[in-house]
Amino acid sequence: MSALHIKKGATRHSAYNLRPNFSDVQERHTIAVLVENEPGVLARVIGLFSGRGYNIESLTVAEVDHTGHLSRITIVTTGTPQVIEQIKAQLGRIVSVHDVHDLTVEGPSVERELAMLKVVGDGEKRVEALRLADIFRANVVDSTLTSFVFEITGAPDKIDAFADLMRPLGLAEIARTGVAALLRGD
Amino acid sequence: MTREMTGAKMVVQALKDQGVDTVFGYPGGAVLPIYDEIFQQNDIRHILVRHEQGAVHAAEGYARSTGKPGVALVTSGPGATNAVTGLTDALLDSIPIVVLTGQVPTFMIGSDAFQEADTVGITRPCTKHNWLVKETDKLASTIHEAFHVATAGRPGPVLIDIPKDVQFANGEYQGPKPSASHYHPTVKGDMQEITELVAAMETAKKPVFYTGGGVINSGPAASQLLRELVEATGFPITSTLMGLGAYPASGDNWIGMLGMHGLYEANMAMHDCDLMINIGARFDDRITGRIDAFSPDSKKAHIDIDPSSINKVIRVDIPIVGDVAHVLEDILKVWKSRGRKTDSANVAQWQAQISDWRKVNCLAFTQEGKTIKPQHALARLEELTKDHDRYITTEVGQHQMWAAQYLGFEDPNRFMTSGGLGTMGYGFPASIGVQMAHPDALVINVAGEASWLMNMQEMGTATQYRLPVKQFILNNERLGMVRQWQELLHGERYSHSWSEALPDFVKLAEAFGAKGILCSDPADLDDAIMEMINHDGPVIFDCLVAKHENCFPMIPSGKAHNEMLLGEAETQGVIDSKGSVLV
Ligand SMILES: Cc1ncc(C[n+]2csc(CCOP(=O)(O)OP(=O)(O)O)c2C)c(N)n1
Ligand SMILES: [Mg+2]
């Protein structure tokens, strides 16, 4: 009946496979977003990520220019190159966003995070915790006879490593700020 | 110019200063001060709708038919939540509208006050941008900025939430001035990319223009330039549902709408082309069909003002971020300066191939017997109205696709339909917005009986304001498009796709003080349509049509452009399990 010879049921792939040409390697990118410091701006950014199904590994935000009413949001995200491009383009579309920088692409950049770890214990473990803290250049910011609160700054993997070591030594609680990042050089 | 006045007065003043002549709205406690100001002036007409969803769709109809932003005014809480569908519709179709909502007074926000809703929270994902204004001094500048944001770059809906105390308080009124904000999207395309596109056009053997709503949004100049470019190059042109009219349906190079229910020749051309020039369209899933089989051998160029549209779905070779009119102007300039070259011999052969495809005559139907075929009803409507100053809106379903297939659009801004969101209930209020903007034009809403019922309360608006909108209902007593999918995908189990207990549409019209026309016999159709056209007032035209007609051609979900179904005989077991999860 048709002029075509349609191969019925010939579809091998789901049409949801939207990006067959694009690499599906997951990449980790650190993106700095300069936004107007106004109510709701963080909700816009977070809503974009949840609404479109993007990942957030870490997100930090604080005002960086009081007179210009600008805040800097640093987002660490993972996705295929295609998704990363979309994330940047979609961020750029938000009216309150001034600037989007992919530090991973524009890099090299330095990344730092601050963490505080409460380690509870006594005896050998307590001594060992203190010794390791020294090696990692973590400071003791609070102590009792049975606990320490360490403060450590560094790249996220350094903090991960320190936390891993503290775990058997009585790590009770950890608070992390998320990543702040800047491009190197001028 | 600064003057001291109340927030409520500022709202009206700012709208006037923005050139607004019509506001669609519905009052309530949280906007009473603004309504009081509206009462005391005559520059802005307020149209009282019957449901806030209607106000927003009417504003969309106004915007799409004029190119100017549409304005709606609603109260807090339920007024605002009723506006959400219209906002989402405008977001997906990139329609510039400004919605003003009342809010409980600032000191009560967060207390679950009467008719309090977190309006900016609810509408954040369905607006291009929104604002909660907490100081009267900032109200006027926010409204001016809202108009700028709604219309600059890729247009879209914006919302301003205004607490009642802000409306009562006095503040300094600021007149409009060039936007001081950082928001000024790029309109000029990159010359290097444009030159690359021109070079590709010079050597293309099988080029096709694939145009979309972006051409219309860019303004009349864009359509003019598009026509010039198409005539000068002789390349064939197809368009999405949203772009119909940018290039005239009667134009020599027009090959019809593309996509899921697009024309055979258009989809085949898209599949087989060697150069695809996407102008202001967005590779929507209704257009591409199966992604990995989408136009496999073509070089693709994409002109779009929104960088996020580029490479979102389909990877393109020549991305051009800019406003369509600006970019087309540059393309023409560069193409002319390089000697107006095309591979005319091969393009002629390509056109001949397309003519062969056209011979399939994919829209053919036979009107026989005593039942009106919906296609026939639209073909007659086209014949009898095409010489009028005509605007068409539609609801959503089979009738919408048939309208796109069987009506010819010669100019931009003449076809208003819910493309991205597919909102049943859009067409009727949109027709009211269109008629307000074009009082003397023939405005017809091509409707399905089920969609039409979704906002039928707007009959009250149409009769109150004596708006002669024609409601052309293709009544198949079915949720036809749903039924079609159930037939193809769900073993002909027609779960809840009947329109049961339908009203008598003629009596319904009369109950609202309008005219009703019933037509069921093909022999009466022309006279009945003429009666509808000639009646000076709103009409409900109940056109009883064949109940089980399906809409073809159809690219089933998960299939490629060259796997179109052309008719009933091809529909058995055609969508496989992977395709069936798609909508
Ligand atoms: C608000 C809304 N609800 C549900 C749908 C799903 N839907 C798409 S078409 C359709 C049937 C429309 O029936 P009708 O208006 O009679 O048009 P027909 O297809 O029969 O021409 C439905 C229910 C929709 N698009 N919008
Ligand atoms: Mg129907």
pLDDT, tens only, B347-392: 999 999 999 999 999 999 999 999 999 999 999 999 999 999 999 9
Residues B430, B61: Cα–Cα separation, whole Å: 4
Q: Tens digit of pLDDT for each residue in B27-69?
A: 999 999 999 999 999 999 999 999 999 999 999 999 999 999 9
Average of per-residue pLDDT across A46-73: 96
Give the residue among B177, B174, B176, B141 at the shortest CA–CA distance from B5: B174
Q: Is any Cβ of chain B less than 8 angstroms from the Cβ of A51?
A: yes
Pairing of strands A97-102, B390-394: unpaired
CB of B136 within 8 A of CB of B7?
A: yes
Q: Model's pTM, two decimal places? A: 0.94
Q: Is any Cβ of chain B less than 8 angstroms from the Cβ of A6?
A: yes
Average of per-residue pLDDT across B99-105: 98
Ligand 1 centroid from CA A131, angstroms? 70
Cis peptide before B236 (omega within 30 of 0): no
Per-residue pLDDT, B558: 83
What is the least distance, in Å, from the CA of B580 to any CA of chain A? 10
Average of per-residue pLDDT across B260-270: 97
Per-residue pLDDT, B236: 98
Per-residue pLDDT, B439: 98
Can you name the residues that pair with B336 across neighbouring β-strands?
A: none
Average of per-residue pLDDT across B76-101: 98
Chain A neighbors of B311, CB-CB under 8 A: 82, 85-86
Q: Tens digit of pLDDT for each residue in B332-355?
A: 999 999 999 999 999 999 999 999
- Given a cut of 80, is residue B577 above it in pLDDT? no
Biggest CA-to-CA distance, chain A: 88
User: Where is pLDDT greater, at B180 or A185?
Assistant: A185
Per-residue pLDDT, B556: 87
Pairing of strands B207-211, B275-279: parallel
Chain B neighbors of A69, CB-CB under 8 A: none
- Given a cut of 70, is residue A8 above it in pLDDT? no
- Given a cut of 80, is residue B582 above it in pLDDT? no
Q: Which residues contact B97 (CB under 8 A, 6 or more apart)?
A: B56, B59, B60, B63, B69, B70, B71, B72, B86, B87, B90, B150, B157, B158
Biggest CA-to-CA distance, chain B: 73
Angle between helix axes B344-358 and B264-272 (nearest 10 degrees) is 140
Residues A45, A30: Cα–Cα separation, whole Å: 15
Per-residue pLDDT, A15: 30
Q: Tens digit of pLDDT for each residue in B300-330?
A: 999 999 999 999 999 999 999 999 999 999 9
User: Where is pLDDT greater, at B177 or B542?
Assistant: B542
Confidence of residue B567 (pLDDT cuts 50, 70, 90): confident
Q: Tens digit of pLDDT for each residue in A133-178?
A: 999 999 999 999 999 999 999 999 999 999 999 999 999 999 999 9
Per-residue pLDDT, A38: 93
- Residues lining ligand 1, judged by CB closer than 6 Å? B 395-399, 422-425, 448-451, 474, 476, 478-482
ipTM here: 0.92
Q: Is any Cβ of chain B less than 8 angstroms from the Cβ of A25?
A: no
Chain-chain contact of A15 with B313 (C-beta, under 8 angstroms): no
Q: Whose CA is nearest to atom 1 of ligand 1?
A: B424
The rounded mean pLDDT for chain B is 96
Q: Tens digit of pLDDT for each residue in B453-498?
A: 999 999 999 999 999 999 999 999 999 999 999 998 899 999 999 9
Pick the catalytic residue from B164, B299, B470, B515. B164
Per-residue pLDDT, A22: 63
Per-residue pLDDT, A21: 44
Q: Tens digit of pLDDT for each residue in A25-47?
A: 999 999 999 999 999 999 999 99
Q: Is B541 a catalytic residue?
A: no
Per-residue pLDDT, B1: 54
Q: Tens digit of pLDDT for each residue in B274-285?
A: 999 999 999 999
What number does the ligand 1 atom closest to the CA of B481 have?
Answer: 19
Per-residue pLDDT, A2: 28
- Given a cut of 60, is residue A13 above it in pLDDT? no
Confidence of residue B571 (pLDDT cuts 50, 70, 90): low
Tokens 């400004």 belong to residue? B98
Of B183, B311, B581, nearest to A95 by CB-CB distance is: B183
Ligand 1 centroid from CA B404, angstroms? 16
Measured from the alpha carbon of residue B484, the closest ligand is 1
**Amino acid sitting at position B57:** H
Environment class of A148 (CB within 10 Å of its CB; exposed 0-12, middle 13-18, buried 19+): buried
Residues B162, B172: Cα–Cα separation, whole Å: 16
Chain B neighbors of A9, CB-CB under 8 A: 573-574, 576
- Given a cut of 90, is residue A10 above it in pLDDT? no
In eight-state DSSP terms, residue B351 is: H
Confidence of residue B575 (pLDDT cuts 50, 70, 90): low
Q: Is any Cβ of chain B less than 8 angstroms from the Cβ of A66?
A: no
Q: Whose CA is nearest to atom 13 of ligand 1?
A: B479
**What percent of chain B has pLDDT above 90?**
93
Q: Is any Cβ of chain A less than 8 angstroms from the Cβ of B290?
A: yes
Per-residue pLDDT, B391: 98
Question: What Å distances lie between residue A164 and A116, A161, A173, A180, B422, CA to CA?
Answer: 14, 5, 12, 22, 52
Angle between helix axes B324-337 and B220-233 (nearest 10 degrees) is 30
Per-residue pLDDT, B182: 86
